[in-house]
A and B are shown apart, each in its own frame.
Chain A
Amino acid sequence: MKTLVQVFFLPHLFPVAPELVRIVRKDVGTELAKKPTHLAVITQKSGITLTGEVDETEENEWHARVAQLAQWSSAVGIKTLSIMRNAPLDPEDLEALQDRIDHTMKDFYKEEKRVPIALVRTLCPVEESLSLVFKKNNSQATIQRDLRLHGGRAFDLDIVILSPEDGHDRLAGNVRLLGEAALRQQISSEQITTSFLDTQLSAELTEPELLIILKDDLDLSSYPPWHIRLTEIYHHPDQAVIPVYTMFLQALHRFAKCDQRFGK
C-alpha cells in the first residue's frame, strides 16, 4: 500500500536529480546536526560481470552514477566518497572516469566562482601500508596521507573505487604481509594489536560514517569489514521506486538524527 501511494501519488514530490549545486544545498538545508566526512556507497553493479564480460551501456551508467554522487557529495561538504562495485576498475577506465567527473563537476558548479577538485583512485597494493606503522610522527600523518593519496595534488573530494578484492581478501593479504615481515624480524607477532592494525588498514581508507546501499537487498558486498565498525547503514528496499537522490537526502537526514552511545 505504501509503495502504491509512493508510485502513484508522490512522484511529483520526489526531487529530480539536481543539475546545480545550489539546488542540492537548498534540499539538504542548513539544519543537519551532523554530516559525514566519509560517505560510502555500494552500487548495484557495474557493466563488468565476474566472468569478465563487458556491457558498455551499464558501465556507462555506472560512470554517470559515480559522477552524480561526486557532485552531490561535494555540495554537502563530504571529504571522502568510497564506491564499492562488483569488479575491479582498469586503469584506463579510471582515467575515463576522472575525465567524466571533471566534466560534470564543471557543469554542476557553473554558477559558482570555484569548482572543487574531485580526484578518483583505487587502493594501492597492501605492501605499501606497512611502512606507515613505523612512522612515529602522528601530527604530520594526516598531511602526509593527503599528499600521498593523489601523488601530491590538492583535492577537495577524495573518491575511492573499491571492489570485492579490497575487502576480505585484502585482510588475508595483510596477514601474509605481516608474516613475511615477522620472518624478516621487522616485527613480532606480539606487536600486532588493534591499534597497530588500525593504523595500517586506515592508511589507504578511513572509516565511513554513513554507508548507502543501492541494491535491492541489504548486502554489504564484501565492503572492507574492518572499516564498517560504527558505520550507519542506510538501505531502502524499494530501489525501483525511490530515486537515488531521494535516498541520498534521506540517508543524510537519518544520519544527522542518529545517536551513537559507543558502548555506554
Chain B
Amino acid sequence: MRAVAIKALQCGSIPQHIGLIMDGNRRYGRKVHVGNGKGYYLGYETLEEILAVCMEMGVKVVTVYAFSIENFKRPADQVETLMELAKTKLAELCEHSELVRQYGIGIRVLGDTSLLPEDVRQVIRKAVDLTKKNNRAILNMCFPYTSREELTMATRSLVSGIEAHDLNPRQVSDISTSVLEQSLYTRSCPPMDILIRTSGEIRLSDFMLWQSSRACHVEFVDCFWPEFTFWKLLPILLRYQLRAISIAQSRREYSRGEVAEDDVNGDEGVLLNTDIGNARQTALEQDQEMSRRNSSESTLMTSETDKTAGVESPCGLTLEKKQRVISFLHHRGYIPNCPIVHLQ
C-alpha cells in the first residue's frame, strides 16, 4: 500500500530537502504512560521510519532538530538521557545501519558541538568520519543547534575571512546572500523544500530560520512526533507538490534579484569614472591581482575546486570570484562536522 502511494507521489516532484522539528516526545511519553525518557526513544524509532520513507521516495537531505542549545536548560537527567541516546544511536547509524549503507547516507552534525561532553563529541567525529564519503544522501542531525548561533557563526567566519583578506567586502559577490547561505551549517545541501513541526506548536523555535523563511513549504502538524507516520506525511507531500512550481519560481526570482545586485554594485568600490566598460575591466584586474596574491594556495585549490564543482555557486560570476569563495569555504571557513560534499 505504501509502495503504491510512493510510486504515485513520484509522478510529481519529490522534495530534495526536508526539515523536521521532532517535537512532543515527552508529552507523548506522558500520554502513553511510559515517561519522558522512553518518549525520546520512541521518537528515535519514528525518525528511523520517516528517514527510511524519505530515502525510498528519493529525498536527498533530511535535517532534524534533535537538540536545541536552549534544551540544556532542561533537568539534568533528561539532558543525560538525550546525550546517551545520541551516543548510542549515532554509533549504531554509522556502524550497523542497513539504511545508511543502502542509501549512501552521509551523517553530519550541525551545531556548536563544543558545548557537548567529550565522549559525545568523539562519537560524533567518528560517525561523521565513517560516513563522509557517502554522497547519495545526507542526514543532518542538529545537535546542539540554534539558527541564531548558525547565523552568528557564519557572520563571524565571513568577517574573519575579510580580516584575513581572503574575501573582499567591496565585492558584493564575495559576501552575497548566497555566499552567506553557503557559509551556514547546511552548506552543500539543496535549499529546504519542506519544514514540518509536530505537536501542534506553531513556531519555529530557532530552527532553520534562514532556510525556511523563503521558498519553503512550512507545515504545523497537530500530533506528537512519535505519532507521526508516513500517512501523516503523505498529505503534506501532496500539498507541497501543488506548490512546487511556485516555490521554484520564487527561487528563480530571488536569485535573479541577487545577480542584478551583483551587476549594479559589484564595481562600486573601484568605480573611478562613468565608463562602465573601464570599471568592469578595473574590477577584473583587481580580482586577478587578488588571485595572484593567493597564488601560493591556488595551485592546491585547483584540484579541490574541480572535485567540488558541485557546490552550489552564485550564478553569473567569474571563475576567479567563485574560486575565492570556494577556497575560503574549504580553509578558513571550514566546519569540522559538516564536510562539503558533492551530492549525486
Q: Using a CB–CB distance below 8 Å, which chain A residues touch chain B?
A: 50, 164-165, 167-169, 171-172, 174-180, 182-183, 188-190, 192-194, 197-198, 217-223, 225-226, 228-234, 254, 258, 260, 262-264
Q: For A189, give its contact among B71, B156, B172 (CB under 8 Å).
A: B156
Given A180-B169, A183-B169, A220-B214, 4 further pairs, Cβ under 8 A: A164-B257, A172-B179, A219-B217, A263-B205
Pairs across A and B, CB under 8 Å, 15 listed = A164-B254, A168-B180, A168-B181, A168-B210, A169-B177, A171-B210, A182-B159, A192-B152, A219-B218, A220-B212, A220-B216, A220-B218, A229-B205, A233-B220, A263-B72
As a 0/1 sequence over residues 61 to 98 of chain B, the CB contacts with chain A under 8 angstroms (1 = contact) are 00000001111111000000000000000000000000
CA gap between A136 and B169 in the complex, in Å: 27
Q: For A179, give its contact among B68, B162, B210 (CB under 8 Å).
A: B162
The reply to whether B254 and A222 contact each other, CB–CB distance below 8 Å, is: yes
The reply to whether A225 and B253 contact each other, CB–CB distance below 8 Å, is: no
Q: For B155, give its contact among A178, A234, A262 (CB under 8 Å).
A: A178
Q: For B204, give its contact among A168, A177, A231 (CB under 8 Å).
A: A231
B54 contacts the other chain (Cβ, under 8 Å)? no
Q: Shortest CB–CB separation between residue B269 and chain A, in angstroms?
A: 10
Question: What 9 A-B pairs are tightest by C-beta distance, nearest first?
Answer: A263-B70, A179-B162, A179-B169, A189-B160, A220-B213, A225-B209, A222-B214, A189-B159, A172-B177
Q: B181 to chain A: which residues have CB within 8 Å?
A: 168
CA gap between A258 and B179 in the complex, in Å: 37
Q: A189 to chain B: which residues have CB within 8 Å?
A: 156-157, 159-160, 163
Q: For B202, give its contact among A192, A193, A232 (CB under 8 Å).
A: A232
The reply to whether A188 and B180 contact each other, CB–CB distance below 8 Å, is: no
The reply to whether B180 and A234 contact each other, CB–CB distance below 8 Å, is: no
The reply to whether A171 and B180 contact each other, CB–CB distance below 8 Å, is: yes
B287 contacts the other chain (Cβ, under 8 Å)? no
Q: Which of B150-166 contact A (CB under 8 A)?
A: 151-152, 154-160, 162-163
Interface residues on B, range: 35 or more
Q: Shortest CB–CB separation between residue A122 and chain B, in angstroms?
A: 17
Q: A217 to chain B: which residues have CB within 8 Å?
A: 217, 243, 246
The reply to whether A172 and B176 contact each other, CB–CB distance below 8 Å, is: yes
Q: B205 to chain A: which residues have CB within 8 Å?
A: 229-230, 263
The reply to whether A179 and B209 contact each other, CB–CB distance below 8 Å, is: no
The reply to whether B202 and A233 contact each other, CB–CB distance below 8 Å, is: yes
The reply to whether B74 and A264 contact each other, CB–CB distance below 8 Å, is: yes
Q: Shortest CB–CB separation between residue B154 and chain A, in angstroms?
A: 8
Q: B159 to chain A: which residues have CB within 8 Å?
A: 175, 178-179, 182, 189, 192
The reply to whether B152 and A233 contact each other, CB–CB distance below 8 Å, is: no
CA gap between A264 and B258 in the complex, in Å: 39
Q: B73 to chain A: which residues have CB within 8 Å?
A: 262-264
